[in-house]
Amino acid sequence: MRATSAVTIGVGAAAAVVVGALVQATGAGSAGGGLGAALGMSVPAEYRSLIEEAGNTCPEVSPNLLAALITQESGFNPKARSGAGAQGIAQFMPSTWESEGIDANKDGKRDVWDPEDAIPSAGKHLCTLAGEVKDVPGDKQSNILAAYNAGSPRVIAAGGVPPIEETQNYVKSINALSRQPGGGKTATGTQGTIAVNAAKGEIGTPYSWGGGNANGASTGSCCSPNGSSGASIAGFDCSGLALYAYAKAGISLPRTAAAQYAASEPVRPGQMRPGDLVFYGSSAASIHHVGIYAGGGWIINAPKPGTSVRYDPMDMMSDLYSVARPVPSKEI
């Protein structure tokens, strides 16, 4: 199954923000908790009981693992469709659905677009994969996830997670979500305001690839995907700015945008507030940019080489993935 989010998000550039289907879950716990393992993640209420039941289909799978996987696959969007042809909330390819899909709600049809069928089918499929890769050395959860993404034969042949960049990123992202300590308090409104004010204070500071740390602007490194170097520029890249802004608020964030997403809890559109982080990418594993929500549909961010820290409309990129609020891991 290919991990491609098909969540569509539209944002007004001038005033009100209209966000369609943001991710509603973030991770906690670990797989293999045994039957009866509890769900510690925040998931949409309408799917919670389905996740709890399907995530206890076998001892090798947990509700948190299943919730993190669905977050990655579709952001809990039951109408998600990837360019590769994956369908529904669990992003089943048609051939996989044909063999693994079940009529879990007993309505007489196996419907990949119906979460009441697709979520239990995903739990069953994870258990099938767990059996197929049980003798493969290494981390069992990682091997199961790699099999879900790339297929069991590739995992078996590689003796673990295969050397496929997409699969490796997929496994790392879902592991981070599923194993992140759950139930923690997110950043307060006051901390968000401090972060916004810190970012405002850096407007006009040059973009520097790899630049920025908890103390402020710094020289970066070489090189960005397009070959731009920040080694001679004191400034910020997008995640460096977020890291600095939240350091001023007493919260330590990881260095990269994708890791910052994994260390945050997605929020609903109506609950957005200044200081929330706005992430861009086609999936949790492919997040490539982050900005700091300033209110009114605008973010403060370090956009790209050759620019400086500035305000941009929230829809500055077409692949807005999620808005999330940092979960403090340690105080500075």
Catalytic residue set: 73
Q: How many residues does the chain have?
A: 332
Q: What angle do CA 124, 130, 132 make, to 5 degrees?
A: 110
40 contact partners, CB below 8 Å, separation of at least 6:
28, 29, 63, 64, 182, 183
234 CB burial (10 A radius; 0-12, 13-18, 19+)? middle
46 contact partners, CB below 8 Å, separation of at least 6:
115
State the Cα–Cα distance between residues 27 and 239, nearest whole angstrom.
21
State the Cα–Cα distance between residues 178 and 262, nearest whole angstrom.
9
- Closest residue by Cα to residue 206 from 188, 191, 228, 187: 228
Which amino acid belongs to residue 123? Answer: G
Peptide bond into 223 cis (omega under 30): yes
- Closest residue by Cα to residue 105 from 92, 89, 123, 118: 118
161 contact partners, CB below 8 Å, separation of at least 6:
138, 142, 143, 146, 155, 167, 168, 171
φ and ψ at residue 38, rounded to 5 degrees: -90, 155
CB 37 within 8 A of CB 62: yes
CB 17 within 8 A of CB 11: yes
Tokens standing for residue 64: 């948190």
State the Cα–Cα distance between residues 311 and 293, nearest whole angstrom.
10
Tokens standing for residue 242: 């977020």
